[in-house]
Structure 1
Amino acid sequence: MRITIGDLLLRRLTELGIEYLLGVPGDYNLQLLEQVKNMGGLEFVGTCNELNAAYAADGYARLKGCAAILTTYGVGELSAICGVAGASAEHVPVVCITGAPPLYAMEQGIALHHTLADGNYDDMMNCFRQFTVAQTRLTPTNAAVEIDRVLCACIREKRPVYIQLPSNISYLEVDAPEGGLDLSFPSEPLQLEAACAHLLRVWSQATKPALLIDMDAERFGLAALLKRLSEKTQAPYASLTTGKCILDETAPLWAGLYVGEASSEQAKQCIEGSDCLIATAPRFIEGNSGLFTQKLPARTVMLGGNSVTIENVHYEGVRASELIARLTDGLESNVCVDLPAAARQSWQVEQDAPLTQSRLWPRIARFIDKGDVVLAESGTSNIGLTPQMLSENVTYVTANIWGSIGYTLPATLGTTLAAPDRRHLLFIGDGSFQLTVQELSTILRLGLKPIVFLLNNRGYTIERFILGMEDAYNDVANWKYADLLGVFSDAGNYMAMQARTEAELEAALEKAADSNSLCFIELHLDPFDAPAALKVFGPATAEFDYGPRGPQRLLA
């Protein structure tokens, strides 16, 4: 069929389930935006800057399976690259489309604006090559093939991809294949049979099988399959902090968070004592491993998205989802053990007590309900919420590996667009908030309704506990945060509240629970207070980062 290059690209995005294209207009991408206007099922959402667009796309893709951003060449795409690198680190599929200069200008090396004026048009793609699994510059001769190749790589690898669309070819017609994008990539049959037989043999010999959940369980669609395997066989499971809430934390078979030596005894025995551990390709960093104190058993089965390792035998071309489905079908059901689900301690408000980190997070955990989307900013919020047992079917969004502060506010734009019928709760500190605050205006402009908890602790609490507890470099300006909503929107479609005591927090939570608009709750906290885990993490990080003669020793 004959179709323009721009329309083919946009049609393929809709076939991936993408409903919103996020980004910033620029002269090299305006021709594609004209085509977006006529593309049913796809809407452009302009963000305040390209970095925020990348963060928003990351949040959108975590709930929808894929996202797309649109930038302009050079200045726009380099602004987004930090967020794209974060999506790569966190295994999030994002399609990065950049409106590029005319094809003839690039081929002839003509010096133009938004470039280094040196005629080099390979530099931007070389930058993105480091953080994407496929890249292309579209031309009339390659577009029909290259669009499909790159998008399939995005879905299969669960990583960002990069597409340059020269400004003068978007309206040119090409012959494209009939039918939709072919995303089928089944396992190699003989490899799958061999891997399944091997795994069944190892599992049948085990007396203490267990599961270890990391983020790839969600990225590659394994969560429901692993839940079924656990329930059928009564195999317990633990989660890395980077895999929080992917499986139910309230279920009797959940053993807790596995963090190496920092794990509870129950979680440690479950994982380290297993004689057949199925792990969803965990990637251990200092934060989720208890400073690399993890000890996985010899018989650990590593599930990649499209490969598996069993007893040091590597099976390439095996989809983990197919393997787990076959394993579960081939096993007999175990008698359900009547284990009590974990129970929360009782809670009673201390009316006039000032807010403290030790009591804030257990109370917040009770406010989080089934089906909520929780976005926890790196630092205090994530460290405070991670140990809390959250309700069933909660989606927990954070950037544990990349750790770029400010990520969660624009990510909330993405998650609310992806799942407008769910309740979205953002927890972010004042320092992080100041980095990406502009996107609150987009959330208000679109009439989205998250609940935003702003932790006002006068600066970078996590950094204070690493180094510089009272130093000015960890301070930030104390904005009138609750007043910002009136600056960003004149529609009055929000509710702003503040809380300094537990009684004020209860009142704010009650109003937020009943609200049908964006709720902004500013929590006033002691700058030198922190969750218990952060008080341990900070000094340990200082020792790891600076060594035995570091400044943390001199200042002690």
Structure 2
Amino acid sequence: MQMPLGQFLLRRLHEVGINHLFGVPGDFNLSFLEQTLQPSPIRFINNCNELNAAYAADGYARSNGLGAFVTTWGVGDLSALNGLAGAYAENIPVVHISGLPRLHAVNERALLHHTLVDGDYDNIGRCVAEFTVAQTRLTPANAVIEIDRLLQCCWLERRPVHLQLPSDITHLMIEVPTQPLCLMEPTSDPLQVERVISRLQAQWRPENSPVFLLDNDAVRFGVIDVIRTIAEKMAIPYAVLPSAKGIMDEDSALYLGVYAGQASLPTVSHAIHHSDCVIGVGLRLTDCNTGLFSQLIDNSRLISLRRFDVAIKGAQFPGVMLKELLTKLAEQVTDREARPLPPRPSLPLSTEAQTTFSQAYFWQAIQAFIQPEVIIFGEAGTAHSGASSLRLPAGARYHSQIIWGSIGFTLPALLGSQIAQPDQRHLLFIGDGSLQLTVQELSTLLQQRLTPIIFLINNRGYTIERLILGESSAYNDVNEWDYAKLPSVLDKGNHALSFIVDDIPSLHQALQAAENPNRDKAIFIEIRFSPLDAPPQLKQFAKRFADYDYGNCGPRNLNH
């Protein structure tokens, strides 16, 4: 059958589960955006800038599986590039649609606005190619093949793709297939799978004290449930890397905690370091995941299950797909009696009850406040340091961006996630410095009548940077805003309740209002701390990074 090219693109996006498109209108994408106003399966969400649109699509994909956003050529694409790079680094499948000038202008190298006025229409593609796994420029002749190819690549790699859509072809009729697009999972070599299963079963005997160590690919590639089945059948405890906080049940007796090398809690590091069979899933042993490369895991004890291959104590097995392998393993393993696990700490930040208002008191109060099935975003820095230490209740999820670490990410990402899951309770913990980068998206959030709970940690600047270097240096200061008034400034509709918290009674008053299950407004809570009040683990983290970044002769040591 025939249909307009742009409508076919929308249809394909919808068939792979995308129901919302984020972005900023520009003259080269307006013809496509018009098609979202017609009877369309996809609703367009207008963001305040392109970077925030990329962040929102990232957050949407984390809760939905896939996300998409649209920009205009040149200025819009480059504004969004940091968001694409973050999605690439964090393994987030995002479709970037760029509104390109009309085809004849591109072919004739016309000197148009939003270009470098040199006739080069390939430069943007070259830039974006560094941060995407597939790219294309659509024409009426290649549209069907290329749209399907890019969506398949996006899903296969769980990373962004870039699609250039010329402004004058969106309404042209093209011949399209009638069948929906099915995102296919690759299959394994069957003999290779059997070899791997045989070796695995020989390695994870009880006397080897096997333990799962999980990274984010476990959730990106949909194997959380099957890992849980194997762990429960075989009584194998599991830990997660910091980038994978919250992907597995933390209320399970098998959950050990977060492993970050020698920065881990003793019970967690003991379990990993004394196991003769560490079963890693999608491990990426980055600096932030390992306490600056302090992990004690060598290949002689490591089984590394990756998305498309397996390494068992250094022996490589290509052609083995992660989900297929684990599914077959789950069918073959038999129940095993659980081994006793070491006791876990009862509180994340301190085992002693806090009685004065501080970061320690705040995070203990939040531990009691969070509920099952909640979705939590923790901004890089102080917010993530505290939030990542929480013991999550059943069904709760936690999102951060600690690998790419672009501050300001979480507010627009929260918007995207709640657009994808509007009925789930969302919490955001973000610092004042980070908020100032992307605060505009609070406007979009309120315009969409979303009702998250936003905790703004106001410590008058970049506390994590102060702890690394420059405790009192002016470069770590940010201008003081009247933060509690931001919701009313950015939205006239009175769709938020604001609170200022600077002591214990005001904290509990704000939390009580936020707990109201029938509220129809967002909650914005500004929490004021002194600049150097921070969770203990952040102080340890900062010292490690200062030593690593600057060495023994760095300014930190010279100043002391």
Class of the TM-score when normalised by the shorter of the 2 chains: over 0.9
Checking the alignment, whether the CA contact within 8 Å between 2:354 and 2:361 is kept in structure 1 is no
Give the structure 1 partner of residue 422 of structure 2: 420
Question: For residues 357 and 141 of structure 1, do their structure 2 counterparts lie closer, same or farther at Cα, with a shift above 3 Å needed?
Answer: same
One-letter amino acid matched to 2:313: E
Count the aligned residue pairs: 553
One-letter amino acid matched to 1:513: E
Looking at structure 1, the residues matched to 181 and 250 of structure 2 have their Cα atoms a distance apart, in angstroms, of: 37
2:504 to 502, 505, 518: 502
Deviation digits for residues 226-269 of structure 1, max 9, x if unmatched?
11111111001111111111111221111121111122232123
What are the within-5 Å matches in structure 2 for residues 187-206 of structure 1? 187-190=187-190, 191-204=192-205
TM-score, reference length from structure 1: 0.96
Give the structure 1 partner of residue 387 of structure 2: 385
Give the structure 2 partner of residue 535 of structure 1: 539
- Deviation of 1:392 after TM superposition, in Å, equals 2.0
Looking at structure 2, the residues matched to 198 and 111 of structure 1 have their Cα atoms a distance apart, in angstroms, of: 62
Question: For residues 489 and 341 of structure 1, do their structure 2 counterparts lie closer, same or farther at Cα, with a shift above 3 Å needed?
Answer: farther
Looking at structure 1, the residues matched to 112 and 170 of structure 2 have their Cα atoms a distance apart, in angstroms, of: 19
Looking at structure 2, the residues matched to 224 and 513 of structure 1 have their Cα atoms a distance apart, in angstroms, of: 30
Looking at structure 2, the residues matched to 284 and 363 of structure 1 have their Cα atoms a distance apart, in angstroms, of: 32
What are the within-5 Å matches in structure 2 for residues 166-315 of structure 1? 166-190=166-190, 191-204=192-205, 207-297=208-298, 298-315=300-317
Identical aligned residues as a percent:
45
1:550 to 543, 550, 554: 554
Looking at structure 2, the residues matched to 330 and 274 of structure 1 have their Cα atoms a distance apart, in angstroms, of: 23
- Deviation of 1:196 after TM superposition, in Å, equals 2.7
Give the structure 2 partner of residue 437 of structure 1: 439
Q: Does 1:19 align with 2:23?
A: no
One-letter amino acid matched to 2:104: Y
Question: For residues 8 and 327 of structure 1, do their structure 2 counterparts lie closer, same or farther at Cα, with a shift above 3 Å needed?
Answer: same
- Deviation of 1:223 after TM superposition, in Å, equals 1.1
Point out the more displaced range, 355-364 or 142-151: 355-364
Looking at structure 1, the residues matched to 301 and 332 of structure 2 have their Cα atoms a distance apart, in angstroms, of: 20
- Deviation of 1:178 after TM superposition, in Å, equals 2.7
Looking at structure 1, the residues matched to 461 and 537 of structure 2 have their Cα atoms a distance apart, in angstroms, of: 18
Name structure 1 gaps, 5 residues minimum: none
- Deviation of 1:85 after TM superposition, in Å, equals 0.2
Checking the alignment, whether the CA contact within 8 Å between 2:10 and 2:41 is kept in structure 1 is no
Looking at structure 1, the residues matched to 207 and 177 of structure 2 have their Cα atoms a distance apart, in angstroms, of: 49
- Deviation of 1:315 after TM superposition, in Å, equals 2.9
Q: Which secondary structure does the structure 1 equivalent of 2:227 belong to? A: helix
Checking the alignment, whether the CA contact within 8 Å between 2:267 and 2:344 is kept in structure 1 is no
Q: Which secondary structure does the structure 1 equivalent of 2:376 belong to? A: strand
2:399 to 390, 397, 400: 397
One-letter amino acid matched to 2:260: V
Checking the alignment, whether the CA contact within 8 Å between 2:279 and 2:303 is kept in structure 1 is yes
Looking at structure 2, the residues matched to 533 and 262 of structure 1 have their Cα atoms a distance apart, in angstroms, of: 8
Looking at structure 1, the residues matched to 277 and 109 of structure 2 have their Cα atoms a distance apart, in angstroms, of: 58
Looking at structure 2, the residues matched to 146 and 316 of structure 1 have their Cα atoms a distance apart, in angstroms, of: 28
One-letter amino acid matched to 2:256: A
- Deviation of 1:204 after TM superposition, in Å, equals 4.6
- Deviation of 1:347 after TM superposition, in Å, equals 8.3
Name structure 2 gaps, 5 residues minimum: none
What are the within-5 Å matches in structure 2 for residues 146-165 of structure 1? 146-165=146-165
Q: Which secondary structure does the structure 2 equivalent of 1:114 belong to? A: coil
Deviation digits for residues 381-409 of structure 1, max 9, x if unmatched?
00112222221221101101011000001
Looking at structure 2, the residues matched to 341 and 172 of structure 1 have their Cα atoms a distance apart, in angstroms, of: 65
Q: Which secondary structure does the structure 1 equivalent of 2:114 belong to? A: coil
Looking at structure 2, the residues matched to 366 and 216 of structure 1 have their Cα atoms a distance apart, in angstroms, of: 30
Checking the alignment, whether the CA contact within 8 Å between 1:430 and 1:457 is kept in structure 2 is yes
Checking the alignment, whether the CA contact within 8 Å between 1:260 and 1:294 is kept in structure 2 is yes
Checking the alignment, whether the CA contact within 8 Å between 1:250 and 1:342 is kept in structure 2 is no
Looking at structure 2, the residues matched to 474 and 383 of structure 1 have their Cα atoms a distance apart, in angstroms, of: 18
One-letter amino acid matched to 1:539: K
Q: Which secondary structure does the structure 1 equivalent of 2:98 belong to? A: strand
Checking the alignment, whether the CA contact within 8 Å between 1:252 and 1:342 is kept in structure 2 is no
Q: Does 1:465 align with 2:467?
A: yes
Question: For residues 347 and 442 of structure 1, do their structure 2 counterparts lie closer, same or farther at Cα, with a shift above 3 Å needed?
Answer: farther
Point out the more displaced range, 378-387 or 534-543: 534-543
- Deviation of 1:172 after TM superposition, in Å, equals 1.6
Q: Which secondary structure does the structure 2 equivalent of 1:427 belong to? A: strand
Q: Does 1:321 align with 2:352?
A: no
Looking at structure 1, the residues matched to 169 and 131 of structure 2 have their Cα atoms a distance apart, in angstroms, of: 26
Deviation digits for residues 289-322 of structure 1, max 9, x if unmatched?
0110112242322222222222333333322111
What are the within-5 Å matches in structure 2 for residues 70-149 of structure 1? 70-149=70-149
Checking the alignment, whether the CA contact within 8 Å between 1:349 and 1:502 is kept in structure 2 is no
Looking at structure 2, the residues matched to 146 and 167 of structure 1 have their Cα atoms a distance apart, in angstroms, of: 17
One-letter amino acid matched to 1:255: L
Checking the alignment, whether the CA contact within 8 Å between 1:431 and 1:459 is kept in structure 2 is yes
Q: Which secondary structure does the structure 2 equivalent of 1:534 belong to? A: helix
- Deviation of 1:177 after TM superposition, in Å, equals 2.4
Question: For residues 199 and 3 of structure 1, do their structure 2 counterparts lie closer, same or farther at Cα, with a shift above 3 Å needed?
Answer: farther
Q: Which secondary structure does the structure 2 equivalent of 1:278 belong to? A: strand
TM-score, reference length from structure 2: 0.95
The RMSD of aligned alpha carbons is 1.7
Q: Which secondary structure does the structure 1 equivalent of 2:164 belong to? A: strand
- Deviation of 1:348 after TM superposition, in Å, equals 6.2
Question: For residues 343 and 259 of structure 1, do their structure 2 counterparts lie closer, same or farther at Cα, with a shift above 3 Å needed?
Answer: closer
Looking at structure 1, the residues matched to 79 and 288 of structure 2 have their Cα atoms a distance apart, in angstroms, of: 27
One-letter amino acid matched to 1:103: L
